[in-house]
Structure 1
Amino acid sequence: MAIRTEGLTKRFRSGQVAVDGIDLRVPRGSVYGFLGPNGSGKTTTIRMLLGLIGPSSGQAWLLGEPMPAAGPAVLPRVGALIEGPAFHPSLSGRANLVRLDACDASAPPHRNARIDHALERVGLGAAALKRYRQYSLGMKQRLGLAAALLRPRELLVLDEPTNGLDPQGTREVRRLVGELAEAGTTVLVSSHLLAEIENVCTHVGIMSAGALVLQGERTSLTSLADRRVWVRTESEHVAGAARVLTALGLDEVIIEGAELHALLADVRTDDVTRALVAADIPVHGLSERTPTLEDVFVRLTGEGFDVAR
């Protein structure tokens, strides 16, 4: 495992339990989406993993080594972008990276080439000489990502990497994560914006109120939610359509205006279409919708990802 925790817990002096006994399992070579609403405990967990704060109880291992005890040996193999990266405001983006890299005695040679390559990878090549204080929020986030890429990493931990980025920047981050994974780097990506990174992840862990409510391979987790069929008809026929779906054995039939949807279970969509046509119900649209991770989350917690804690 690239990351493993056992009963990792963080309790603050106020009595608040920010992280409640979680057992993370991040396989080597995976892209692990660490997901959940703002305030669900993701950043606190990451800070404990990297040794920035100590746990109240439990243990954590990075790349097979215990943290924080093995931090000096392990952390040079780990790149990290933690929420709100800080740099010297009067220096340019490039100068900040030079200064940061110079502090690392174990950094590989060819510093200038590595820094230029990192800046280009995150789309800051043209703004490399611009002062950090003049950077937008998205540019600051890109520079933090460049800092994490200054040297080859076995593990990359990205906390809200798309924060402040426009849609194009978000797509670039997804592409970069995919490239890193293909090169053999394990990537943990934390986000409260599930839809932005859901499709790039091979594995997922979902947090809610400090607890890890779901974890596993992404494709297997979505099978926990049932498939639904959506039918669009005319307002005067929606009640008749609902009766047809009920007669077919579909459960949880829900009407929303001129649309209705229901759990498919073992019924095929072709059978639904034929039954509606046979009952003279006009069908203006019919589709089967595969459940998303957010569907699974809502089913488990009763809340959406926009819930602030």
Structure 2
Amino acid sequence: MTTAPGATATAAAPAPAPREAHAGAVSDDAIRTRGLTKRFRTGQVAVDGIDLLVPRGAVYGFLGPNGSGKTTTIRMLLGLVAPTAGQVHLLGAPMPQAAARVLPRVGALVEGPAFQPYLSGRANLARLDAVDASADPRTTRTRADAALERVGLGAAADKRYRQYSLGMKQRLGLAAALLRPRDLLVLDEPTNGLDPQGTREVRHLVRELADAGTTVLVSSHLLAEIEQVCTHIGIMGGGRLLLQGTRDHLTARRGSRVMVRTPQADAATALAELRRLGLADATAERPAADGSVTVSAALADDTGADGDLPAPQDVAGALVRAGAGILAFDVRRPSLEQVFVELTGEGFDVTR
């Protein structure tokens, strides 16, 4: 694992997830916690009994505003902070018992990366590589140069770290996490200090790593960053894991509505059929200028997995069989931001 120079790692065993329960053995998951808690001496509870689950191969967006407990959780996962209570498994192994075997397979960028200011980018990476007992010193230069090129610092390899911009320092931290192939990559605010082009490059890099089989956990308070790259999402608020699951499932479960535009003469039939199907909050809008009427109803889960609610295609079929003409049919899902605001009442920085 690579974090700030001199960092070491410990941690703790597995867990099911809140609300979005995931089945499967511990060995099927890259990260799994049970009751992970951090309480400071002041009495402040920074992380309150979370059950985090990151499936292997996922790009997991760890989402929440600043101060929600994301970084403290990550530091506990990597053993940089001792938990007050709870257990952690990384890559299917209990921590800290399996630390020597597991941590070389984990790369990490946690908070602001720290390097020697008077050493070059390449020399800093070589220094980090030298303290990794599992790394081959004969290939240090080759791997360091490859990592620098991968994050766009090839031309600045011999430049002193103290001369790097904030974005370049962040890129060097990413390069340190990529010195060796990793099974798990943990990135805490990886686009901090990057310009829009750099942010796009990090997103591309995350997708590239995931396509190659690396599990990636990306912590961020930037909504656009999460929406564009992540397959799974966990939402933190006030130290608690409020919701987690696949991105599509989270937005489908909360506030999805089926929208049907039908001839005005068929509106009553369509409305009655939606209610007969058990869909909640079925309503009809006023007729439009063209004489059509939009009828809608809540669809809690577009897979039909919740109770006896039908899937969208079954709703459309039932409307046709009931004799309601369909001019347009759509399922509107809330945005990730809407889901977050509903859960926490807090907004997000969505400027990127």
Both proteins in one fold, TM over 0.5: yes
* Cα gap change, 1:102 to 1:169, in 2 (>3 Å): same
Bigger mean CA deviation after superposition, 169-178 or 220-229: 220-229
Alpha-carbon distance in structure 1 between the residues aligned to 2:116 and 2:61: 30
Aligned pair partner of 2:97 in 69, 73, 76: 69
Aligned pair partner of 1:126 in 139, 155, 180: 155
TM-score (norm 2): 0.71
Post-superposition offset of 1:70: 2.1
- The one-letter code matched in structure 2 to 1:3 is I
Partner of 2:118: 90
Are the counterparts in 2 of residues 227 and 265 from structure 1 also a CA contact under 8 Å?
no
User: CA offsets per residue over residues 202-229 of structure 1, 9 Å max, x none?
Assistant: 1111100100001001111111232579
Partner of 2:207: 178
Post-superposition offset of 1:197: 2.5
Are the counterparts in 2 of residues 31 and 188 from structure 1 also a CA contact under 8 Å?
yes
Q: Secondary structure at the match of 2:203?
A: helix
Partner of 1:36: 64
Post-superposition offset of 1:265: 6.9
Post-superposition offset of 1:290: 3.8
Aligned pair partner of 2:288 in 256, 267, 276: 276
- The one-letter code matched in structure 1 to 2:59 is V
2:335 is aligned with 1:292: yes
Alpha-carbon distance in structure 2 between the residues aligned to 1:15 and 1:143: 36
Post-superposition offset of 1:305: 2.6
- The one-letter code matched in structure 1 to 2:342 is R
Alpha-carbon distance in structure 2 between the residues aligned to 1:278 and 1:84: 58
Partner of 1:169: 198
**Number of aligned positions between the proteins:** 268
Post-superposition offset of 1:160: 0.5
Are the counterparts in 2 of residues 119 and 143 from structure 1 also a CA contact under 8 Å?
yes
Are the counterparts in 1 of residues 143 and 179 from structure 2 also a CA contact under 8 Å?
yes
Q: Secondary structure at the match of 1:304?
A: coil
Post-superposition offset of 1:292: 1.6
- Higher RCO (CA < 8 A, seq sep 6+): 1
Post-superposition offset of 1:175: 0.4
Are the counterparts in 1 of residues 46 and 239 from structure 2 also a CA contact under 8 Å?
yes
Partner of 1:154: 183
Partner of 1:301: 344
2:221 is aligned with 1:192: yes
2:140 is aligned with 1:111: yes
User: CA offsets per residue over residues 253-282 of structure 1, 9 Å max, x none?
Assistant: xxxxxxxxxxx9777xxx96x9221479xx
Post-superposition offset of 1:129: 1.0
Alpha-carbon distance in structure 2 between the residues aligned to 1:225 and 1:62: 30
- The one-letter code matched in structure 2 to 1:211 is R
Are the counterparts in 1 of residues 63 and 226 from structure 2 also a CA contact under 8 Å?
no
Partner of 1:26: 54
- The one-letter code matched in structure 2 to 1:298 is V
Partner of 2:37: 9
Alpha-carbon distance in structure 2 between the residues aligned to 1:225 and 1:216: 12
Post-superposition offset of 1:134: 0.8
Partner of 1:233: none
